[in-house]
Amino acid sequence: MKTLFDKVWDSHVVKKIENGPDVLFIDRHMVHEVTSPVAFLGLKSRNIGVKHPEKTFATADHNTPTINQHLPVKDPLSANQLKALEENSKAHGISYWGLGHEKNGIVHVVGPEYGITQPGATIVCGDSHTSTHGAFGAIAFGIGTSEVEMVLATQCIMQPKPKSMRINVVGNLNKGVTPKDVALYIISQLTTSGATGYFVEYAGDVFKNMTMEGRMTVCNLSIEMGARGGMIAPDEKTLEYVKGREFTPTGAAWDKAKAYWDTLYTEEDAKFDKELTFKGADIEPMITYGTNPGMGMGIGKDIPTAESLEGGVSTYKKSLQYMAFNEGDSMIGKPIDFVFLGSCTNGRIEDFRAFTEIVKGKQKAPNVTAWLVPGSHKVEAAIKEEGLLDILTAAGFELREPGCSACLAMNDDKVPAGKYAVSTSNRNFEGRQGPGSRTLLASPLVAAAAAVTGKVTDPRELL
């Protein structure tokens, strides 16, 4: 009896090395400017090319500015990395969606948008949030630069097969609870290392009822509990989403692919190495208070005391010291300085719809700097077409141009030292959004509530 993960993994094993890793064939390789230049240099020094340029897709996102993208990039180091990606893509015949290209955007946003991401595929990228693509029932995970070189050179990767975990969330979600909250809740229960060594399948009504974009948000955050990746079995909703996109097969190829996709589910008696079940009804809108994504809680709760936690007390205290929070503090009412809506976690159209739902008819708080950054040009266009931009503008917000932006602050969008940002991104590590910055991870609804009140606010009060 096979799990969904077993089916996809096993069908991609070119060779099993005795006492060693599997040689796994990769269907889609996404490439961006930060983790690829040294890999291309490696190819050059070996005097070899890219084995399957047609399975390789390059986009610029980590370094890109979010204003004036039509002008030359000011930071010379960023400009140099972007140029390297363009030249390497051209030299090897890889499709390249650079700055200014209509399809440009964050690698994990544009992959699904154009149908590069498909059920049952193996997908890798030199970025840990590649786990996003698991929402389609793909095996998708982040790799290092040596492995990027490996995939460019051979279209294969060498990996031991991870253990399997199923996380069930049953029942229904309460009002104001989003897919981001579901993911932050699971991470808070498992800790940031709780799923290390595992590949996760998410199952249960909560995920069945979730939109494709919501599933992407959940799978995106799998890496934050240590998992290599997360996946959700494809269903009617998945096929409906995939159909008609540029790189999606059509005609006879569609029928063939669909026949394969229809086999992608976990058989009833299949065994997982570990299985956990949570109740959707137990989940509240979440917020983090510390310096890793596992340090999160229901927004109405108080910050736990070190005494109530197991082990790592000095690390825990160091973390609260960095945030300038005290054990037992309430998060509600804490003043904030920045709001960031965007990233591969929450930079899709549904996230902008959720944000707009709260700020509609209200005004941005004067003490808040808000960076609203769509995940792609396609998202940007939808924000305008659906009239969301008009609502946002009336409420005192501006829209920026697409990219990773303040999620990891490799461009100019840096939160200053000591300032607090409510962020829809994926990591609250020390200095993640700029040296000395303090990040509170939350959903687009929580971010919107903070943006209009200037402090941490339960969004259910504004819905």
Residues 145-174 that bind other proteins (CB under 8 A): 145-147, 149-150, 153-156, 158-160, 162
Q: Give whichever of 318 and 360 is closer to other proteins, judged by the CB atom.
A: 318
260 lines the binding site for other proteins (CB under 8 A): yes
**Cβ proximity to other proteins, 237 vs 247, nearer residue:** 247
The C-alpha atoms of residue 338 and residue 121 are separated, in whole angstroms, by 38
In the complex with other proteins, the residue whose CB is nearer, 171 or 436, is 436
Size of the site for other proteins (CB under 8 A): 78
Check residue 429 for interaction with other proteins (CB under 8 A): yes
Q: Which span sits near other proteins by CB under 8 A: 23-31, 354-362, 364-372, 391-399?
A: 23-31
CB of 74 to other proteins, least distance (A): 13
Measured from the CB of residue 219, what is the shortest distance to other proteins in angstroms?
15
Taking CB under 8 A as the criterion, the residue among 20, 49, 300, 387 binding other proteins is 20
Based on the shown chain and the rule CB under 8 A, indicate whether residue 412 belongs to the binding site for other proteins. Answer: no
With CB under 8 A as the contact rule, the residue among 432, 443, 446, 453 that binds other proteins is 432
The two three-digit tokens of residue 278, written as one number: 């949570």
Of the pair 63, 376, the CB lying nearest other proteins is at: 63
Smallest distance from the beta carbon of 203 to other proteins, in angstroms?
A: 22
Tell the smallest beta-carbon distance from residue 354 to other proteins (Å).
26
- What residues from 49 to 78 belong to the interface with other proteins (CB under 8 A)? 51-52, 62-63, 75, 77-78
Give the closest residue to 27 by CA, choosing from 249, 251, 344, 255: 249
| 146 close to 157: Cβ distance less than 8 angstroms | no
Q: Could you say which of 315, 330, 363, 393 contacts other proteins (CB under 8 A)?
A: 315
The minimum distance between CB 96 and other proteins, in angstroms, equals 16
Nearer to other proteins, 262 or 398 (CB): 262
Candidates 97-105, 313-321, 323-331, 374-382 — which segment interacts with other proteins by CB under 8 A?
Answer: 313-321
The least distance separating other proteins from the CB of residue 87, rounded to whole angstroms, comes to 10
**What's the sign of the alpha-carbon dihedral 28, 33, 39, 43?**
positive
Task: Encode burial over 103-118: b for 16+ CB neighbours within 10 A, e otherwise.
Answer: bbbbbbbbbbbbbbbb
C-beta closer to other proteins: residue 172 or 193: 193
Residue 387: CB atoms within 10 Å: 10
Binding mask 114-143 for other proteins (x = CB under 8 A): ----x-xx----xxx-x-----------xx
d(C-alpha 276, C-alpha 187), whole Å: 12
Identify which of residues 3 and 425 has a Cβ nearer to other proteins in the complex: 425
Q: Is 113 in the site for other proteins (CB under 8 A)?
A: no
Give me the helix-helix angle, 37-46 and 76-92, nearest 10°. Answer: 50
Among 10, 15, 305, 317, binds other proteins (CB under 8 A): 15
226 binds other proteins (CB under 8 A): yes
CB nearer other proteins, residue 279 or residue 317: 317
Is the Cβ of residue 229 or residue 280 nearer to other proteins in the bound state?
A: 229
User: Cβ 333 to other proteins, closest distance in Å?
Assistant: 28
Tell me which residues in 374-403 interact with other proteins (CB under 8 A).
Answer: none
> What span, in angstroms and rounded, lies between the C-alpha atoms of 209 and 237?
10
Strands 198-203 and 286-288 turn out to be unpaired
- Binding to other proteins by residue 452, rule CB under 8 A? no
Distance, in Å, from the CA atom of 73 to the CA atom of 68, rounded to the nearest integer, reads 9
